[in-house]
Structure 1
Amino acid sequence: MTGPPRDDDAAVIVQSLEQPEAFALLYDRYAADIHRYAARRLGEGAAEDITADTFLTAFRSRARFDTGRASARPWLYGIAANLIGRHRRTEIRALRALARTGVDPVAESWTDGADQRVTAQAAHGRLAGALATLSAGDRHVLLLIAWADLSYQEVADALALPVGTVRSRLNRARRTVRRAMGADPTVVTESLEVAHGQG
């Protein structure tokens, strides 16, 4: 089977309508990214289910994919965000526990060095508390940009929102997080990066 070009997810989806096994290419391309994002939001246990459900939902609804878009990445993150939204109580409980204890088992494994761990845990606690106070919509926008590295347009596509709404939700979320982190924008940026595993 000759597959479509690597960068044309729409062609993969079109091909999968006739050859369902072609859809596995999208899984190969994006499953690890979706899993990492879901794990950051809900933990490892739920990430497996979210990832599987994301691709099952995408496969079942692939005939409705907008083939005018070359990349399926925002579409897949949108499906994952909706599924994560159904686990909202689990996410809020985890964020509140992190705010109380300062221990994030996911980020812990990514953070090296004792000094860095102490700093990161203190920041994670404040950050988690701030994230727990955000509305689900604001949290989705902030974390799709911060942890999934989506652009404003990709977030708009993922969540079926106008770009202006994405911008306003992001600004509102950043203000809330800044206030919780002591109004220092560098602390907010560094906290999100460390929590995302870049620290």
Structure 2
Amino acid sequence: MDIDELIELVKQHGKSIYGFCYKLTGNKENTDDLYQETFLKAVELRLKMDASRNPKAFLISIAIRLHKNHRRKLAWRQRIAPTAELDEEANKSGSFASEATPEDAVLSLELRTMIQDAAHLLDDKLKLPLYMYYTADMTVEEIASALRIPPGTVKSRLHKARKTMRKVLEVDSP
């Protein structure tokens, strides 16, 4: 794969890859870093990439590996020299131009926050397929390819993730 084909991949899948990176990291600064690192790594690995074999899944798998490596390094650093965690500002993104009333906008934001919090509680084995399916719009087969697991395992993890989130959301709701 040459650079021009890689540029075309960025145009085609860049937005969904960015959204996926955001779901993994949870904030804009780390998302920007992960997104950039993903495509830098893709440039390095472009000769191994085959445009006919689902390049989006290949890019997602690069992002996942980079994210895991970063978390592993961070955990190692925390064990060596613990630092106090900084509180990050809550996710306050999105415009509400489509909502009819301010009350609808508040309810929509509250519901979105509840769903994100429930997803955040999931283990990575459940969270990654869930984000890949709903955020990156990947099929079960694409997720299986990216995570190097059987499609049946992806389906069972999606089912378990939905079931777990449903339980959490039912407990939280009045």
Task: Pick the TM interval, shorter chain.
Answer: 0.7 to 0.9
Q: Which residue of 1 aligns with 2:91?
A: 104
Q: Which residue of 1 aligns with 2:139?
A: 151
Aligned residues: 157
Structure 2: unaligned runs, 5 residues or longer: 75-84
Deviation, 1:176, is 0.6
Does the C-alpha gap of structure 1 residues 119 and 165 become closer, same or farther in structure 2, counting only changes over 3 Å? same
Aligned to 1:63, the other structure's residue is in SS state coil
Moved over 6 A (4+): none
Q: Which amino acid aligns with 1:109?
A: S
Deviation, 1:179, is 0.6
* Larger RCO, structure (CA 8 Å, separation 6 or more): 2
What CA deviation, in whole Å up to 9, does each residue of 1:142-179 have, x standing for no partner? Answer: 01101111110011112111101111111110111111
1:110-121 correspondence to structure 2 within 5 Å:
112-113=98-99, 114-121=102-109
What CA deviation, in whole Å up to 9, does each residue of 1:108-147 have, x standing for no partner? Answer: 3367442222212322332233212211121010011011
- The CA distance in 2 between the partners of 1:56 and 1:111, in whole Å, is 36
- The CA distance in 1 between the partners of 2:32 and 2:112, in whole Å, is 23
- The CA distance in 1 between the partners of 2:121 and 2:97, in whole Å, is 25
Structure 1: unaligned runs, 5 residues or longer: 1-12, 188-199
Q: Which residue of 2 aligns with 1:181?
A: 169
Q: Which residue of 1 aligns with 2:120?
A: 132
Q: Which residue of 1 aligns with 2:43?
A: 59
Does the C-alpha gap of structure 1 residues 182 and 88 become closer, same or farther in structure 2, counting only changes over 3 Å? farther
